[in-house]
Amino acid sequence: MASKGERDVEIHVSSPPPDDRDAARPLLPAACEAYSVSAAILPFFFPALGGLLYGYDIGATSGATISLKSPTSSGTAWYDLSSVQTGLVVSGSLYGALIGSATAFTIADFLGRRRELVVSSIMYLIGALLTAVAPNFLIMVVGRFLYGIGIGLAMHAAPMYIAETAPSQIRGMLISLKEFFIVLGMLLGYIVGNLFVEVISGWRYMYAASAPICVIMGIGMCWLPCSPRWLLLCATQGKGDLRETKENATRCLCRLRGQASPDLVSEQVNLILEELSYVGEEKKAGFSEIFQGKCLKAMIIGCGLVFFQQVTGQPSVLYYAATIFQSAGFSGASDATRVSILLGLLKLIMTGVAVLVVDKLGRRPLLIGGVSGIAVSLFLLSSYYTLFTGAPYVAVIALLLYVGCYQLSFGPIGWLMISEVFPLKLRGRGLSVAVLVNFASNALVTFAFSPLEDLIGTGVLFASFGVIAVASLAFIFCIVPETKGLTLEEIEAKL
């Protein structure tokens, strides 16, 4: 009998009938996915800390730049930073994330999901400590880059590990909960920044505060088992004895499922192997295969979602948050860190709502409803800067609507979908491309915003983002499938 707090779950999910080409393809029924709730917690929690550290960096950096540039509280002789130097401090981790996600393309399948997250935690720790103790600007930038490499590796491996180890019945909730951890990290960063912003060398404490979390993440990932799907993938590519690997994968999956029946776990392992044997006789997937067949469809879905996630203006709308609150006359608006905490709380609440409903309502309804709200909010922001400049409440409503709708849709669902749609054989490489597109488009929007604002004006620019949001809505309607309740193998067969 399961102990208190645990339960065995068996849910039958009917999959859509495969087409003629997939008639012989074995599907992994969700009925095999009996699991214990308590056993599913830690395989989610430790990878999710990688997302929390990413969010913490965003939040802490907003306060750290204020502290670092202050002549009274920076505690350095090199506080008088130019705009370029400040930009390097703020965006250094973003460039590092680009390097990390590009590196993941070549090393992900070699290291495996678990070891990639261990390496990520090490890079996080080195980067955080190096930034915190930096004796000069150059060392600080190096620390920011190393921390960013940790971000790139973590944001690549964490959704894969969670997707490949989570039961299909709660996979959407768990991967969406990783976005909740990112937002929670932002909120923690804003709070820590607010606490230390007026302390001498407060920026050092802000960055050093993440070090204990890095250590917990690394130790936790060393303790967790490998992804059974990755083990079986390696075995089918000639790396290791298949029989021994199958036994190892069965042990790992039993540990991940807790109270699940060993017979059901063994059946699940056999069906994963059958799926891998179906996809081709080649021992190793080539680069060109990423842009062929089902993986090309997955690439269009995944990269399209993370691209629209950024180019609908997400970095830029938040950039205007303090200005909008100031114009509305809110007393806390004069303090940027307090405004950030307010928005962080809203993001956290709305992400929590998405986590609770994603496996009930599905991915598509949340995307369609949320992105529709994003489009409305962007046109409202545009109207404020062009028609209703004397009515700041319009901008406040638009800003809150944007943040809420983003956290119901693109925020969690983008990361969820890219971890689900890629075939196992090419999941590591495909997801690394999607993560690279995410960070590259983020950088594009962040650095193109100011020149475009000067060229066409703020109102027109937000209207342009609104048009892009409408285009992304059409993309979701026509291209993005529903994956609720399906195993990863059923999703692959459905594409």
In the chain, % helix, strand, coil (3-state, to 5) comes to 80, 0, 20
**For residue 27, pLDDT beyond 70:** no
Look at residue 74 in the predicted model and tell me its pLDDT.
86
Long-range contacts of 336-341 (CB under 8 A, 24+ apart): 336/62, 336/66, 337/62, 337/63, 337/66, 337/190, 337/193, 337/194, 337/197, 338/194, 340/59, 340/62, 340/186, 340/190, 340/193, 341/187, 341/190, 341/191, 341/194
User: Of all helices (H) and strands (E), which one includes residue 185?
Assistant: helix 171-196
Residues 198 and 291 in one domain: no
Residues 192 and 319 in one domain: no
Q: Would you say 79 and 128 are in contact if contact means Cβ atoms under 8 Å apart?
A: no
Say if 239 falls within a structural domain.
Answer: no
Residues 330 and 429 in one domain: yes
Residues 6+ positions from 111 with CB-CB distance below 8 Å: 119
Look at residue 212 in the predicted model and tell me its pLDDT.
96
Say if 9 falls within a structural domain.
Answer: no
Residues 169 and 47 in one domain: yes
- The backbone torsions φ and ψ at residue 12, rounded to the nearest 5 degrees and listed phi first, read -90, 120
Residues 218 and 316 in one domain: no
- Which of 5-19, 42-56, 272-286, 402-416 shows the lowest mean pLDDT across its residues? 5-19
pLDDT (tens digit, 9 = 90+) per residue, 482-492? Answer: 888 787 778 87
Residues 41 and 166 in one domain: yes
Residues 410 and 303 in one domain: yes
Say if 87 falls within a structural domain.
Answer: yes
- Which of 4-8, 238-242, 474-478 shows the lowest mean pLDDT across its residues? 4-8
Residues 221 and 347 in one domain: no
Say if 248 falls within a structural domain.
Answer: no
**For residue 405, pLDDT beyond 60:** yes
- Which of 34-38, 129-133, 343-347, 372-376 shows the lowest mean pLDDT across its residues? 34-38
- The amino acid at 163: A
Domain boundary among the residues 210, 227, 244 is at 227
Residue entry with tokens 């404020």: 384
What CATH number has the domain bearing residue 181?
1.20.1250.20
What distances in angstroms separate CA 129 from CA 193, 197, 406, 461, one per listed residue?
Answer: 17, 18, 33, 39
Residues 164 and 60 in one domain: yes
Residues 422 and 298 in one domain: yes
Looking at the chain, the whole-number percentage of residues with pLDDT higher than 70 is 83
* Total domains, the chain: 2
Say if 392 falls within a structural domain.
Answer: yes
State the average pLDDT for the chain: 81
**For residue 345, pLDDT beyond 50:** yes
Residues 173 and 290 in one domain: no
What distances in angstroms separate CA 450 from CA 63, 314, 340, 446, 461, one per listed residue?
Answer: 21, 14, 21, 8, 10
Residues 203 and 102 in one domain: yes
Say if 8 falls within a structural domain.
Answer: no
Say if 40 falls within a structural domain.
Answer: yes
Alpha helices by DSSP H, 15-136: 37-68, 83-111, 113-132
What confidence tier does 263 reach under pLDDT thresholds 50, 70, 90?
low
Average pLDDT over every residue of 403-407: 91
**For residue 4, pLDDT beyond 50:** no
Look at residue 335 in the predicted model and tell me its pLDDT.
54
Say if 156 falls within a structural domain.
Answer: yes
Look at residue 109 in the predicted model and tell me its pLDDT.
74
Domain boundary among the residues 227, 262, 293 is at 227
Query: Residue 119 and residue 353: Cα distance in Å, rounded?
Result: 32
- The amino acid at 59: G
pTM over 0.95: no
Range of the domain at 130: 28-227
What distances in angstroms separate CA 314 from CA 71, 95, 378, 403, one per listed residue?
Answer: 32, 18, 10, 8
Average pLDDT over every residue of 461-477: 94
Average pLDDT over every residue of 72-100: 85
